[in-house]
């Protein structure tokens, strides 16, 4: 079972699996840092992203 960060090269995306092995979506607090995982693609967000009408900036590790 996969837990934590996982890069999927065939889809060029990073996803995150919780301790019980389920994939995370939406806003997540991981180790005290806020991340956003797209609800459709499950891809970890980096750079600028408009979410529900508000702009957010995420670094290259997906941290807001």
In a domain, 63, yes or no: no
Q: What pLDDT, in 10s, does the model give residues 10-62?
A: 999 999 999 999 999 999 999 999 999 999 999 999 999 999 999 999 999 99
Percent of the chain surpassing pLDDT 90: 97
In a domain, 64, yes or no: no
What is the Cα–Cα distance from 64 to 11, expressed in whole angstroms? Answer: 23
Q: Please give the full DSSP string across 1-63, using - where no structure is assigned.
A: ---EEEEEGGGTEEEEE-TTSPBP-EEEEETTEEEEE-TTT-PBP-EEEEETTEEEEE-TTS-
Instruction: Please report, for the domain that includes residue 21, its CATH number.
Output: 2.10.270.10
Split into its structural domains, the chain has a count of 1
**The overall pTM is greater than 0.75:** yes
Task: Give the model's confidence band at 2: pLDDT under 50 very low, under 70 low, under 90 confident, else very high.
Answer: confident
In a domain, 35, yes or no: yes
Tell me the residue range of the domain where 44 lies.
4-58
């Amino acid at each position: 079972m996969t837990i934590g960060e996982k890069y999927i090269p065939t889809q060029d995306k990073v996803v995150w699996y919780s301790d019980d092995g389920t994939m995370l979506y939406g806003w997540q607090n991981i180790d005290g840092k806020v991340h956003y995982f797209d609800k459709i693609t499950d891809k970890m967000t980096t750079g600028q992203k408009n979410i529900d009408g508000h702009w957010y900036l995420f670094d290259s590790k997906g941290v807001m």
